[in-house]
Amino acid sequence: MLVATSVALSGQPPQFSNAVRNFITIDASVVALTNVRVIDGTGAPPRERQTIVLRDGLIADIGDAARVKAPDGATVVDLTGKSVIPGLVMVHEHLYYPTGPGVYGQLGESFARLYLAGGVTTMRTGGNTNGVMDINLKQQIDAGQRAGPTIDATAPYLNGPNTQLQMHALKDADDARRQVAYWAEMGATSFKAYMQITRAELGAAIEEAHKRSLKVTGHLCSVTYAAAADLGIDNLEHGFMASTDFVADKQPDVCPGQAVGQRTIDALDENGAPFKALVKKLIDKHVALTSTMTVFETFAPGRPTSPGLDVLLPELKQQFEQAHARAGQNQQSIYKTLLPKGMALERAFAKAGGMLIAGTDPTGSGGVIPGYSNQREIELLVEAGFTPLEAISIGTLNGAKYLGRDARIGTIAAGKQADLVVVNGDPSKTVADVRNVETVFKRGVGFDPAKLIASVSGRVGLW
């Protein structure tokens, strides 16, 4: 029998199971991090030689070493030469992975550990293909029974007729309402619409979710971004890569094919009036946009291979490497130009005042590895033209704002939850230093990424 749990409102972490304790290296009621460079997630310049006092899961104090001293009895960790950034808050994560043709393995156990190891302390899953796993995992992590980030758990996808084996097909708008009501009751805290949904179903789902103060995002195709914004959607996935707004003969409620939409995006001028009008619409309607460049990078020729592949089962690693080699040889691939175009469009959206948030989407051909890819997404935001400080802010504060939790998480400040990532180096100068994670503090408890990774290495794909 599982005990229902809820997140305690204090900063106090839960009692951890012995299995989780294996991954913990720092667990004291008072911890002082000294001589550390603080990148606080707001976009402000780094502050050198700071002391951060963590008490009962919260940041009790932070300031110059001259002012803030380690309290008596505190566990002191000297972080000279190292930086802290806020725990990552990423919003297009999944607990499943493409193991075979049209088949998704449910890898919640290993993925939750990898996400935490990569510095993700809060994540939203962006659609589930498993029913209750996202919800159960969220509750067990909150209760300290498993290691992982705090999860905003999505319900199974809301989609129209489709050929996926692990996806329900909505019958009509009433069915959409029933699904939202049922999964909200089951504990889902957000919803994801998918490529074949109709406007009527999407509108009904949004209305039903909003009644419960829950949000709806979408990887759309059958419904344009502009139409979804008018229906009140909160978030759109994959930047502009899933927009069919510019398909000339687009039929209402019909997906013309993702590739057809992407050809129009590839040809879109980020300074042109049609794109600017869509951006204005999304901003006016407060629709956030999720960047998931990590998954598109795996399709593009001439790109480096993905970080973290060694955690995969050898068969799955080989499967991705073959797919990546094929992608690399395809010089006709649209992604050669679409990847940089997608970046330029996201940058233009953010520059115009749009809310850009970040995620990774561990699907595609299997090269998006949780944790590793969250770090990669920060690097790709820098490639898109953001400064490292801006990219870190998108991956932390913006996600927290979208989830409505920025009063507690997403930045490093006194009174906030002690969700911090210690990295060796200075990612404000060399963004790749976000890969050098040494400790991940979640609610003041320090987890060892190396132990988390070692616990799944070579077996990701089984569980």
- Which positions touch Zn ion (CB under 5 A)? 126, 361
Q: Distance between CA 54 and CA 26 in Å, rounded? A: 11
Structure tokens at 341: 């175009």
Residue number, 177 or 238, with CB nearest to Zn ion: 238
Q: How far is the CB of 414 from Zn ion (least distance, A)?
A: 36
Minimum separation from the CB atom of position 308 to Zn ion (A): 18
Shortest distance, position 6 Cβ to Zn ion, whole Å: 27
User: DSSP alpha helices (H): ranges in 118-257?
Assistant: 133-142, 173-186, 199-211, 225-231
Q: Minimum Å distance from CB 94 to Zn ion? A: 6
User: Are the CB atoms for 96 and 51 separated by under 8 Å?
Assistant: no
Question: Quick one: tokens of 376?
Answer: 């990669």
* CA–CA gap between residue 339 and residue 332 (Å, rounded): 13
Q: Which residue is nearest to Zn ion (CB)?
A: 361
Least Å distance, CB 195 to Zn ion, is 11
AA identity, residue 410: G
Q: Which residues pair with 442 in a beta bridge?
A: 445
In the bound state with Zn ion, the residue whose beta carbon lies nearer, of 192 and 317, is 192
Residue 201 CA, distance from chain mean position: 26
The answer to whether 190 and 217 have CB atoms below 8 angstroms apart is yes
Structure tokens, 114: 């990898």
* Shorter beta-carbon distance to Zn ion: residue 157 or 275: 157
- Please, how many CA atoms are within 13 Å of residue 267, restricted to the half-sphere of its CB? 11
Exposed/middle/buried for residue 6 (C-beta within 10 Å: 0-12, 13-18, 19+): exposed
First to last CA, the chain: 21
Give min distance, CB of 116 to Zn ion, in A: 20
Helix H or strand E segment including 373? helix 372-383
Taking the least distance from each CB to Zn ion, the nearer of 98 and 126 is: 126
Q: Which is nearer to Zn ion, 238 or 416 (CB)?
A: 238
Q: Are 445 and 13 in contact (CB under 8 A)?
A: yes
- Cβ at position 297, least distance to Zn ion in Å: 15
Q: Residues 424, 427, 429, CA angle at the centre, nearest 5°?
A: 125
If the CB atoms of residues 208 and 361 are measured against Zn ion, the closer one turns out to be 361
CB of 361 to Zn ion, least distance (A): 4
Whether the CB-CB separation of 389 and 47 falls below 8 Å is answered with no
Distance CA 23, CA 448 (A): 6
Nearer residue to Zn ion within complex by CB, 270 or 297: 297
Q: Between residues 217 and 428, which has the closer beta carbon with respect to Zn ion?
A: 217
Instruction: Quote the least distance from Cβ 152 to Zn ion, whole Å.
Output: 14
> Between 194 and 275, whose beta carbon lies closer to Zn ion?
194
